[in-house]
Amino acid sequence: MFNIQNLISIFNKPLISDKEKIEQLVDKIFIQSNLIIDKNKDKDTKTPLIISLGKNHEASSHCIINMLLLKKFKEEGFNISFAKEESHDLVFYMLQNILDRKNYYLGKITPQIFNMMEEYDLVGGDSLLETSIGKSFYEEANQSRRILMNYVLKEKIPYISNDASTNNNECLNLDDLITHDAAKILYPKSYSSYMNAKYIDSMHVRNHIMANKTQEHINKNKPEIHIQSLGQKHNVGEGKCSYANSYVNIVKSLGFQVLAVNLDSDHEFILSDDFNLSDNEFISGIDIPNKEFNYGEYDEQKAKDEHDYIRTLVNDKDWDRYMSDINSIAAYYNDDISNKMDELANRITKEIPMVIPKRQGVMAQSLSF
């Protein structure tokens, strides 16, 4: 029977802002993480907890959740580290972009190239983070990506980009030794073929590389909490992409404790048939806003809209410290790094013979998303 009082109570229920929803989720992840840590604290071997955040790359709020979660653990005194789904050889990738404009293909980091990059101070230090901030300029949700990476830079959080190497054709770069070796081991019959980075076999290769790079990063930095930011399809598998080949299952097989979080709500996500996480290892179905900012090409109005939206999600102190100066970082990378890359690219074209790229071949027989 229709009840007018029930209807009135629904409309009188106070609305929860996007900022409040995000804060509630960050608190939920923090509490669940501590429960997992406490449950395993008496074990002889202490292993770090990996919090794997599956995100929609176009959702600005998802990047902000990454930042606020890092901030929460840091302020609570945890030793933390961070990794993002981005080419492990990102600085080299951007260098290759410059070389592409000169019709010159390098392919991989040889010892000679590595030494030259060191000469130009393009290895280690802040060069990776500054390149990531600048590269975000033309990507989805670029304002929120930049505030996240600016936070990591300013707070000196140990960071790596840990995805497979890709080329401008959105294929795995099989000239990269790490990507080549992983593909060869996992797919010996098709690894030398054209491997679209979004195909299921390529996703599996990428998940293995991200997991192994995560292990290296943790072994080096000894964090208590490691946060991995990656696309939701990588996280725990989806549909035809099995849980067995997901990032989370692979890092679990390496012996790490894991809390997996899918930031998109359940109705937008179909778990694979072999999904196998307990309730205390997985958080999903969150009523988090998925306001998307898909640029394609840089759009000043979209950037302003996203800029204004982020302003509603973070407090004044965080805004002033991590966002107010973000537009001083030029597109792709700051002027200093840009000039170094231009100089190095010119030197490479004069001193090093060009290689023949492995961009040909028959498309791998794979299921696509």
Q: Whole-model pTM above 0.95?
A: no
Which one-letter DSSP state was computed for residue 264?
S
10 Å CB burial of residue 77 (0-12, 13-18, 19+) is exposed
- Matching residue, tokens 């992983």: 182
Phi first, then psi: what are they for 283, rounded to 5°? -125, 125
Q: What is the pLDDT of residue 10?
A: 47
Return the closest-CA partner of residue 208 out of 157, 169, 160, 244.
244
pLDDT values of the chain reduced to their tens digit, one per residue, 369 residues: 556 655 555 445 557 888 999 999 999 999 999 999 988 776 656 789 999 999 988 888 999 999 999 999 999 999 999 999 999 998 888 888 889 888 888 878 888 999 999 998 888 778 888 778 777 666 777 888 888 988 999 999 999 999 999 887 788 988 888 999 999 999 998 776 678 999 999 999 999 999 999 999 999 999 999 999 999 999 999 878 899 999 999 999 999 999 999 987 654 567 888 999 998 999 986 777 777 887 766 677 887 888 889 999 999 898 888 886 665 443 434 567 778 889 999 999 999 988 765 543 333 333 332
d(CA 262, CA 53): 6
- Cβ atoms of 258 and 52 within 8 Å: the answer is yes
Q: Fill in the amino acid letter for 322.
A: Y
Residues paired with residue 194 on neighbouring β-strands, in sequence order: 363
Quick one: tokens of 118?
């060191």
Quick one: tokens of 225?
């909490």
- Matching residue, tokens 């840091």: 74
Determine the Cα angle at 19 with ends 327 and 305, to 5°: 40
Phi first, then psi: what are they for 166, rounded to 5°? -130, 165
- Cβ atoms of 281 and 121 within 8 Å: the answer is no
